[in-house]
Amino acid sequence: MSVHIDCDVVVVGSGAGGGPAASELARAGLDVVVLEMGDKHDPKTFTQREEDMFPRLFQDAASRTTADRSIQVLQGKGVGGSTVHNLNLCKRVDDELLDVWEREHGLPGLRMALAPHYAVVEQRIEVSEVPWDRVTRNNRLLRVGAEALGWKHGPLKHNRKGCIGSGFCELGCAYDAKMNSARVFLPDAELHGARVLPGHRVTRVTTALGRATGVVGEGPTGEFSVRARGVVLSASATGSSAIVLASGLPDPWRQAGRGLHLHPGATVGGVFPDPVDGWKGIPQSWECTEFLHPTDPDRRVWLVPVFGHPVGVGSMLPGIGASATKRMASFRHIAAMTPMLHDTSVGRIEATRDARPIIQYQSNEADLRMMAKGMMGAARILLAAGATEVLIPTSRPRIITAHDQAKALANVALGPLDPPLAAVHPMGGLCMGGDPKRSSCDATGLYHQLPNLWVADGSLFPTSTGVPPQLSIYAFGHLVGQAAAAALENK
């Protein structure tokens, strides 16, 4: 059965970008419809089991990869998007990098324009520092190691309220303690009259006479169409590009889908004499920034503990068969860390005819060298914190027991699938910029080629952010929502 809906503005996707955009549009008095391809989740039904929660919360049941299968790309689906299963870290993009965006991407004044939106969303999602008494052993070991080496390190901020430290954030919070899009922004949008419709996958933006006229797609009962005065794409850095490409929207400079970054990360495990129990407590609360700088090309890797759940650790550790079983026998004693790249490799989104994303991305030489440096850094921190051996998941697994061996890691030649990488921060694809020949959207998220189509998600970033992106996506969602509301109210 075909369903038709009329509204002022349709928001596609309900994650970090779509939530605040919908909230601002609805607060402005506009009739808002949010279309979300995934289900509405009830946190009380979250089981904390990987085999159950991955298919429920993640795109492609968490098996999405780059087209060459070298990088696993984790993204969420369902009301709240990736904010339902993310790890709640909140960091602003560094001012130095925002200055580069202003200068090199034709976005003058962006830093000043964004600041009030950061402030509002930080207050609404209640960003605070993780208190020391909630910092787990996995995280404390990073601090011990970094301190022993004299490296830069410090606490992280998060958006949790009522967190009991169960540790299973990546599988959704059964205690509903995340101050995320599903808990903060979407209920606010609904309070102001918005309709949030799960199970609606958009396949195309419709246009007429040089304007967007709405969207069409597949819903729970068949095809649907929405007619709207404005369209906001918030389907993520892969999903929004795929919709633009599949719709054949005007794109004379072939910018749609370009400028993709992933922040790929590897996993490095340290085996300690005493249990670490890396799955317990708030997963990521301490960072090492010795090798991370917003704009220095030689310092582009962030070191942070990872959530040590069994499948995650098991799939990233070196070895197969009996040797993997032996490794997993020491699971309780493993502290896991990730070197995560502030990547300069540039990928590209392509799309199937029905708007499913195809992720083309290959790591460049500089990024592979930086990953080797990051593995060296992680190994040295773990050794300095007392690990008896460090496990490096290169195709020829390396077991490191001394600092000299760890230092040599910086010169190891890496390649595709060596080591296996995972990416949780896709960004870019419909990048902001002043020049329509080099970008897709302006600084308010407005698509250069249509006067009533906006992008409000991770697609907008013109480079890698080098920090976890959700806070900036919330802030841009808020900014774009207000800009779109102002434009539509005046019509």
Ligand X SMILES: Cc1cc2nc3c(=O)[nH]c(=O)nc-3n(C[C@H](O)[C@H](O)[C@H](O)COP(=O)(O)OP(=O)(O)OC[C@H]3O[C@@H](n4cnc5c(N)ncnc54)[C@H](O)[C@@H]3O)c2cc1C
Q: Should residue 331 be labelled a site residue for ligand SF4 when binding is judged by CB under 6 A?
A: no
Binding to ligand SF4 in span 113-172, by CB under 6 A: 160, 163-169
Beta bridge partners of 153: 288
Sequence-ordered list of residues with C-beta below 8 angstroms from that of 111, at least 6 positions apart, any chain: 95, 98, 99, 102
Is the separation of the CB atoms in 374 and 303 below 8 Å? yes
- Nearest alpha carbon to residue 241 among 392, 428, 449, 29: 428
Is the separation of the CB atoms in 103 and 197 below 8 Å? no
Phi, psi of 33 (to 5 degrees): -120, 125
The least CB distance from residue 476 to ligand X, in Å, is: 9
When binding is defined by CB under 6 A, the residue of 355, 390, 406, 485 that contacts ligand X is: 355
What SS3 state is found at 338? strand
What SS3 state is found at 304? strand
When binding is defined by CB under 6 A, the residue of 23, 66, 72, 88 that contacts ligand X is: 88
Distance separating alpha carbons of residues 38 and 305, to the nearest angstrom: 29
Give kind and range of the element (H or E) at residue 212.
Answer: strand 211-219
Is the separation of the CB atoms in 410 and 402 below 8 Å? no
**Site stretch for ligand X (CB under 6 A), options 84-92, 326-334, 374-382, 408-416:** 84-92
Binding to ligand X in span 273-302, by CB under 6 A: none
Q: Should residue 183 be labelled a site residue for ligand SF4 when binding is judged by CB under 6 A?
A: no
Distance separating alpha carbons of residues 133 and 165, to the nearest angstrom: 11
When binding is defined by CB under 6 A, the residue of 5, 8, 11, 14 that contacts ligand X is: 14
The least CB distance from residue 388 to ligand X, in Å, is: 29
**Site stretch for ligand X (CB under 6 A), options 32-40, 144-152, 392-400, 413-421:** 32-40
Q: Should residue 436 be labelled a site residue for ligand SF4 when binding is judged by CB under 6 A?
A: no
The least CB distance from residue 175 to ligand SF4, in Å, is: 4
CA atoms within 13 A on the CB side of 326: 7
Reduce the secondary structure of 409-462 to three states and give it as a string.
HHHCCCECCECCEEECCCEEECCECCCCCCCCECCCCEECCCCCEEECCHHHCC
- Helix-helix angle 95-104:110-124, to 10 degrees: 140
When binding is defined by CB under 6 A, the residue of 87, 316, 336, 382 that contacts ligand X is: 87
168 binds, among ligand X, ligand SF4, none (CB under 5 to 8 A by kind): ligand SF4
Distance separating alpha carbons of residues 178 and 159, to the nearest angstrom: 6
**Site stretch for ligand X (CB under 6 A), options 1-9, 267-275, 429-437, 464-472:** 464-472
Is the separation of the CB atoms in 374 and 291 below 8 Å? yes
Show the tokens assigned to 391: 């496990």
Q: Should residue 214 be labelled a site residue for ligand SF4 when binding is judged by CB under 6 A?
A: no
Q: Should residue 38 be labelled a site residue for ligand X when binding is judged by CB under 6 A?
A: yes
Show the tokens assigned to 221: 């009962």
Q: Should residue 462 be labelled a site residue for ligand SF4 when binding is judged by CB under 6 A?
A: no
Of 5 and 409, nearer to ligand X (C-beta) is 5
Q: Should residue 236 be labelled a site residue for ligand X when binding is judged by CB under 6 A?
A: yes
Show the tokens assigned to 409: 């890691």
Binding to ligand X in span 367-386, by CB under 6 A: none
Q: Binding-site residue total for ligand SF4 (CB under 6 A)?
A: 13
Provide the residue count of the chain. Answer: 491
175 binds, among ligand SF4, ligand X, none (CB under 5 to 8 A by kind): ligand SF4
When binding is defined by CB under 6 A, the residue of 8, 11, 15, 400 that contacts ligand X is: 15
Distance separating alpha carbons of residues 439 and 460, to the nearest angstrom: 9
Distance separating alpha carbons of residues 114 and 465, to the nearest angstrom: 14
Give kind and range of the element (H or E) at residue 140.
Answer: helix 137-149
286 binds, among ligand SF4, ligand X, none (CB under 5 to 8 A by kind): none
308 binds, among ligand X, ligand SF4, none (CB under 5 to 8 A by kind): none
**Site stretch for ligand X (CB under 6 A), options 80-88, 133-141, 189-197, 480-488:** 80-88
173 binds, among ligand SF4, ligand X, none (CB under 5 to 8 A by kind): ligand SF4
Q: Should residue 412 be labelled a site residue for ligand SF4 when binding is judged by CB under 6 A?
A: no
The least CB distance from residue 455 to ligand SF4, in Å, is: 29
Of 46 and 101, nearer to ligand SF4 (C-beta) is 46
243 binds, among ligand SF4, ligand X, none (CB under 5 to 8 A by kind): ligand X
Q: Which x/- pattern over 408-447 shows residues binding ligand X (rule: CB under 6 A)?
A: ----------------xx----------------------
Is the separation of the CB atoms in 348 and 362 below 8 Å? no
Q: Which x/- pattern over 277-316 shows residues binding ligand SF4 (rule: CB under 6 A)?
A: -----x----------------------------------
> What's the one-letter identity of residue 352?
T
Distance separating alpha carbons of residues 474 and 457, to the nearest angstrom: 8
Task: Please confirm, yes or no, whether 192 is among the known catalytic residues.
Answer: no
Phi, psi of 233 (to 5 degrees): -95, 120
The least CB distance from residue 445 to ligand X, in Å, is: 12
Q: Which residues are catalytic?
A: 425
Binding footprint of ligand SF4 on the chain (CB under 6 A): 160, 163-169, 173, 175, 177-178, 282
Binding footprint of ligand X on the chain (CB under 6 A): 12-18, 35-38, 74-78, 81-83, 85-89, 170, 201-202, 234-237, 239, 243, 355, 424-425, 457-458, 468-471, 473
